[in-house]
Amino acid sequence: METAFYVLAAVTVAGAVAAMALPRLVHCTLCLAVAFVGLAGHFLLLGAEFVSFAQVLVYVGAVAILVVFAMLLTRSADAPPAWVVSRPGLLGVGVAVLVFGCLAATVAGSGLAGREAPPAPEVTVKALGERLMAEYVVPLEVVGLLLTAALIGAVILALEDRAKGGT
Amino acid sequence: MMETLDQLFVLLKRWVVGEFPAAWRLWLSPLIDAGAIIGVFAGLFAVTTLLERKGLGRLQNRMGPNRVGPFGVLQPLADGLKMLTKEDIVPRAADRVVHFLAPIAMVTPILLAYAVLPFGRNLVAVDFDAGLLFFFAVGAGTELAVFMAGWSSRNKYSLLGAMRGIAQMISYEVPLVLSAVAVVLVAGSLSLPSIVDSQAGYHWGWLARWHVFTPWGLAGFILFLIAATAESNRSPFDLPEGESEIIAGHLIEYSGFKYALFFLGEYLGLFAVSALGITLFLGGWQAPVPFLAWVPSYLWFGAKLLGCIALFIWLRGTMPRLRTDQLMNFAWKFMLPLVLVNLVVAALWHGTAAWGFFGAGATRWLLGGAVLWLTYSALSHALFTAPGRGPRTYRYAD
Amino acid sequence: MPPLHAYLLLSAALFAIGLAGALTRRHAILVLVGIELMLNAANLNFIAFWRYGARPEALTGVLFAMFSIGIAAAEAAVGLALIIAVYRHFRTTTVNDVNELRG
């Protein structure tokens, strides 16, 4: 268990760093997919099977593909490698390191540090579905509404303004 | 005796694993499963390439391969040797790392998908509670592989082919998943073995309780088959690789073993999605008639799989290729509404399951069938009389 | 089973990486990617707290993570559509160059 965690953590962090640091956009997206798969592995280790598969389905199957499509449509895939180390850039990294330091200090300072996991609960898809249909039915409907709105909004945004005779 | 034969592979594995020390067993069991899956389906791939070439040859009124071995049966061996010994060419402008990783990214997820498919009674590598979701989740990985192949080759045609391929795959994934959701709704489970169990038994002692014999199941199976054809880039949906339009799409710059891997991935994907269709709609490994239930379950599964493969070969030899706009219209304007209505019909079927009066089954069938038929005819009418869709005119051919 | 703080530190690291990317990179798509990474870090926290929490059978963390995944999908779709619209208009995807309100 421990080994699996550290291997997966290394893969996830390496994928995330590469996704943010590589000069070529396509490489970034592919590394992002690796990071997402690593996270799905963590979810599987933690016993959240359904979330793990949903993570791969949504992030690798939809978000990464959408990013790829956006890259191809905006001709960014063949853009020259952009990696400019500038003053604001270094400042951004500094802020991020500061945030990580704060978060890590909080985690270390909280009483949670040595907490051990209770025995693994049995998470069946049936139990999840019953929760979603009973206690969480309003959030579920709201998410459905949100997704529909996002679908329509995305289509309208990306639709060319033909009325104005757009390019 | 028949019981033992039916469980032959399960018992064999248990015996082999039992021969090893306990510390190894945890690792050995999945290794055996993986080895068996790779071996069996790579073998099936070799057989299918021969069957496909022979079958297409017959459909086109020619002989097909008949030089290597008796009746050409050793042709796959010759093809394999040719593939392995060919020079591996990587274009100078190509992104070497991505170009190298693309075939691996293609084959690995597809092989993973086999883990949740039940090939026979108790013959499943992993029985996830969310097995169906696992199947679709790993299947999503192949789309990125297609993009990797198309982009890394630095070739206009391969990039176009990859764009076409991804667009087609995400478009047809929607009807594919939704037609499977209808089965989940009725079976009440995402685990593939229990979906097979939900189709056990026979109506009146002879008609199998497969989902394909219900109105929503029949419509769902047909929609699933169409979407599966598109998902596995097979004719008539082989636009990403249309030889006459964009040479071979994302496969242009691949040769030798890498090309063979893509080829293998495509066929393995076809087998996997056929096996899923069999599991969801055709009763999995169940026998079609009760008096043949003694035949081992994996044989039934194999027979159904071969039947599906034959259907796909037949389709390939018969149908002309679609245009991109036709492809997209078909997915979004025809299949998506139909598959949503199919979901409603499945819910109706499930809700009326308690009807007990005389002729209840026939009434339910007629009700569901009527809803589906009305939707189908209304949709096709609307699509064929849409503005800008006059009768076809031929500008050059007479 | 690794202790809880291992997961929390991993999640904090992912959040910081995503933040660094979103602050540093100029390309609009990469900014969005950074935000996605930060969302994912939050998801990991939800699942970790659920697993190590007092009442895992309540499934609250799992359900929250599922809702969060759904919302992230919507966010990505709208965000990328915006990027495409911006590209159509300004012919660029560099966030620094998109600094005019005039349409």
Q: What is the pLDDT of residues B8-21, one digit of tens each?
A: 788 888 888 888 88
List, in sequence order, the alpha helices (H) in chain A. 2-21, 25-45, 49-55, 64-73, 87-109, 125-133, 137-158
C-A interface (Cβ pairs under 8 Å ≥ 3): yes
Are A72 and A126 in a shared domain? no
Both tokens assigned to A136: 């969480």
Q: Kindly tell me if the per-residue pLDDT of A35 is higher than 90.
A: yes
Cross-chain CB nearest to A158 (options C67, C75, C81):
C81
What's CA B24's distance to the chain center, in Å? 35
Q: Which residues of C touch A92 (CB under 8 A)?
A: 19-20, 22-24
What is the rounded CA–CA span in Å between residue C49 and residue A115? 10
Q: Which chains touch C (3 or more CB pairs under 8 A)?
A: A
Mean pLDDT of A10-31: 89
For residue C69, list chain A residues with Cβ-Cβ distance below 8 A.
Answer: 51, 54-55, 58-59
According to DSSP, the residues that pair with C99 across neighbouring strands are none
Helix, strand and coil content of chain C, in percent to the nearest 5, comes to 80, 0, 15
Residues from chain B contacting residue A19 (CB–CB below 8 Å): none
Q: Identify whether residues A68 and A132 lie together within a single domain.
A: no
CB contact under 8 A, B147 and A57: no
State the smallest CA–CA distance between residue A94 and chain B in angstroms: 31
In whole angstroms, what separates CA B298 from the centre of its chain?
A: 18
In a domain, A92, yes or no: no
Q: Which of A85-89, B271-275, B374-378 has the lowest mean pLDDT?
A: A85-89
Burial A87-98 (b: 16+ CB within 10 A, else e): eebeebbeebee
Instruction: Give pLDDT, residue B255.
Output: 82
Q: Does C73 touch chain A (CB under 8 A)?
A: yes
Percent above pLDDT 70 for chain B: 97
* Range B346-349 contact pairs with CB under 8 angstroms and sequence separation of 24 or more: B346/B182, B346/B183, B346/B185, B346/B186, B346/B216, B346/B220, B347/B185, B349/B186, B349/B214, B349/B215, B349/B216
Q: Is A72 on the interface with B (CB under 8 A)?
A: yes
What average pLDDT does the structure give for chain A?
83
- Asked if B189's CB is within 8 angstroms of A126's CB, the reply is yes
Cα(C76)–Cα(A147) distance, integer angstroms: 11
* A85 within domain boundaries: no
Average pLDDT over residues A9-25: 89
Residues from chain C that touch A114, judged by Cβ atoms under 8 A, are 3, 5
On the question of pLDDT at C83 being above 90, the answer is no
pLDDT at B23: 80
- Of B287, B303, B294, give the one whose Cα is nearest residue B4: B294
Instruction: Provide the number of structural domains found in chain A.
Output: 2
Amino acid A167: pLDDT: 41
C42 to chain A, any CB pair closer than 8 A? The answer is no
Tell me the CATH number of domain C4-96, given options 3.20.20.370, 3.40.50.10490, 3.40.50.2300, 1.10.287.3510.
1.10.287.3510
Judging contacts by C-beta atoms under 8 Å, the chain A residues touching residue C96 are: none
Region A161-166: what's the mean pLDDT? 51
Which parts of chain B are beta strand (E)? 202-203, 207-208
Q: How far apart are CA A76 and CA C92, in angstroms?
A: 9
Say yes or no to pLDDT of B135 above 80: yes
Q: Is B324 or B334 the better-scoring residue by pLDDT?
A: B334
How close is the nearest chain A Cα to the Cα of C54, in Å? 8
Query: One-letter amino acid identity for B161?
Result: G
Residues in chain A: 167
* A45-49, A80-84, B175-179: range with highest mean pLDDT: B175-179
> Torsion angle of alpha carbons A110, A113, A118, A120, nearest 10°?
110
**pLDDT above 60 (res B148):** yes
Q: pLDDT over 90 for what percent of chain A?
A: 28
Q: Any chain A CB within 8 A of the CB of B147?
A: yes
Chain A window 1-30: which residues touch C at a Cβ cutoff of 8 Å? 1-2, 5-6, 9, 12-13, 16-17, 19-21, 25, 28-29
Would you kindly state where each structural domain of chain C is located, as residue ranges? 4-96
> Residue B180: which pLDDT band, with cuts at 50, 70 and 90?
very high
**Identity of the residue in A51, A67, A120 whose CB atom sits nearest the CB atom of C33:** A67
Closest CA to B96 of B173, B168, B148: B148
- Reduced to 3 states (helix: H, G, I; strand: E, B; else coil), residue B202 is strand
User: Same structural domain for residues A3 and A63?
Assistant: yes
Mutate to test the interface with A, among B100, B101, B146, B151 (most CBs of A within 10 A): B151
Q: Is the N-terminal amide bond of B236 cis, ω within 30° of 0?
A: yes
Residue C24: its pLDDT value, please? 84
Residue A54 and residue B144: Cβ atoms within 8 Å?
A: no
**pLDDT value of residue B2:** 75
Q: How confident is the model at residue A88 (pLDDT cuts 50, 70, 90)?
A: confident
Touching check for A124 and chain B: CB below 8 Å? yes
> Does residue A90 lie within any of the structural domains?
no
Question: What is the average pLDDT score of chain B?
Answer: 86
In a domain, A82, yes or no: no
Nearest residue in chain A measured CA to CA from C54:
A118
Which site among B26, B96, B128, B155 would you substitute to test the A interface, given the most A Cβ atoms closer than 10 Å to its Cβ? Answer: B128
Range of the domain at A132: 122-167
Is the Cβ of B172 closer than 8 Å to some Cβ of chain A?
A: no
Cβ contact, residue pair C73, A58, below 8 Å: yes
Nearest to A33 by CA among A77, A84, A67, A74: A67
Question: Which of A65-79, B134-148, B271-285, B362-376 is the least confident region?
Answer: A65-79
Cα–Cα distance for residue pair A1/A7, rounded to 1 Å: 10
Share of residues in chain C with pLDDT > 90 (%): 26
Query: Using the beta-carbon criterion (under 8 Å), do C84 and A32 form an inter-chain contact?
Result: no
- Residue B111: CB partners within 8 Å, gap ≥ 6? B34, B37, B38, B268
**Angstrom distance (rounded) from CA B136 to CA B111:** 13
Chains near B with 3+ CB pairs less than 8 A apart are A
* pLDDT score recorded for residue A166: 41
What is the rounded CA–CA span in Å between residue A59 and residue A152?
20
pLDDT band at A165 (very low <50, low <70, confident <90, very high): very low
Chain B: residue nearest A67 by CA?
A: B144
Contact state of C93 with A48 under an 8 Å Cβ cutoff = no
Is the pLDDT at C102 greater than 70, yes or no? no
